[in-house]
Amino acid sequence: MENLVVLTGAGISAESGIKTFREMGGLWEEYDVMEVASPQAWEKNPELVMRFYNERRKKLLEALPNEGHRGLVELEKYFNVQIVTQNVDDLHERAGSKNILHLHGELKKARSTSDSNLIYEIDGWELKLGDTCEKGSQLRPHIVWFGETVPKISEAAIICEKADIMVVIGTSLNVYPAAGLLDYAPHGTPIYLIDPNDVGTKNNNITFIKEKAGTGVQQLFNILKEKYSFND
């Protein structure tokens, strides 16, 4: 089975009602990213940071996976699918995808501020100041903040180096090192990019599918069915 590596961003969850970041009305229009998603913000105003992630977690509990997430699960019947997501939601998991790597953390998890190996599921939507790990240290959102290193980037690069097919869905490719993962795909690897808007990328081996994720993944499925002659 060919290795199909899928890099997803906020756009794949847009049809589930989850806001993207850089579009009109996106999260970074509403909040100053350095006030809610950086180590400096956590130092300066942890209550605001907690509130920002609690509000997003509350919305996530009401969201459901969409056709885009489900279409990727369907492709697991025909390809070795590996999801590398920039998203912190759990919609790929809830849709049924098996192999998921979260580059930027997970909204439904908390991490000890004294030992980053201590990671806990958050029960419900709220994480509070005063919630501590087993060592008594304050818990923080298990999110990679701006200015922090991306612990899983090497693992993600190795996955991309083994790609036979790359798919990019719902990311503006604005944020590195995630956006640089395309460069790890072997030379000549076919890349399919699903996005209703134009996405600037220097990579010239891209087939653009200018659709929302739900429709775009179905179109991709039909293209791959033709190219790899499998029957659904």
Active site residues: 104
Residues 33-92 that bind ligand APR (CB under 6 A): 86
- The SS3 call for residue 173 is coil
Cβ proximity to ligand APR: between 86 and 189 the closer is: 86
By CB under 6 A, residue 20 contacts ligand APR: yes
The span of 18-26, 122-130, 148-156, 181-189 binding ligand APR (CB under 6 A) equals 18-26
By CB under 6 A, residue 151 contacts ligand APR: no
Shortest distance, position 176 Cβ to ligand APR, whole Å: 10
Shortest distance, position 130 Cβ to ligand APR, whole Å: 26
User: What are the residues whose beta carbons fall under 8 Å from the beta carbon of 14, sequence distance 6 or more?
Assistant: 20, 170, 212, 213
Nearest residue (beta carbon) to ligand APR: 11
Cα 189-157-160 angle, rounded to 5 deg:
25
Cα 198-144-48 angle, rounded to 5 deg:
100
Q: Do 85 and 123 meet the contact criterion of CB atoms below 8 Å apart?
A: no
| Nearest partner of 114 among 132, 127, 131, judged by Cα | 132
By CB under 6 A, residue 150 contacts ligand APR: no
By CB under 6 A, residue 217 contacts ligand APR: no
By CB under 6 A, residue 9 contacts ligand APR: yes
Cβ proximity to ligand APR: between 9 and 71 the closer is: 9
| Nearest partner of 172 among 24, 16, 17, 32, judged by Cα | 24
The span of 41-49, 92-100, 170-178, 219-227 binding ligand APR (CB under 6 A) equals 170-178
H or E element that contains 69: helix 67-74
Q: What does the alpha-carbon distance between residue 208 and residue 196 come to, in Å, rounded to a whole number?
A: 10
Shortest distance, position 20 Cβ to ligand APR, whole Å: 3
Size of site (CB under 6 A) for ligand APR: 25
Sheet strands (E) in the chain: 3-8, 80-85, 100-102, 105-112, 119-121, 139-143, 165-169, 191-194, 206-209
Can you give the binding site for ligand APR, defined by CB under 6 A? 9-12, 14-15, 20-23, 26, 86, 104, 170-172, 174-175, 194-197, 199, 212-213
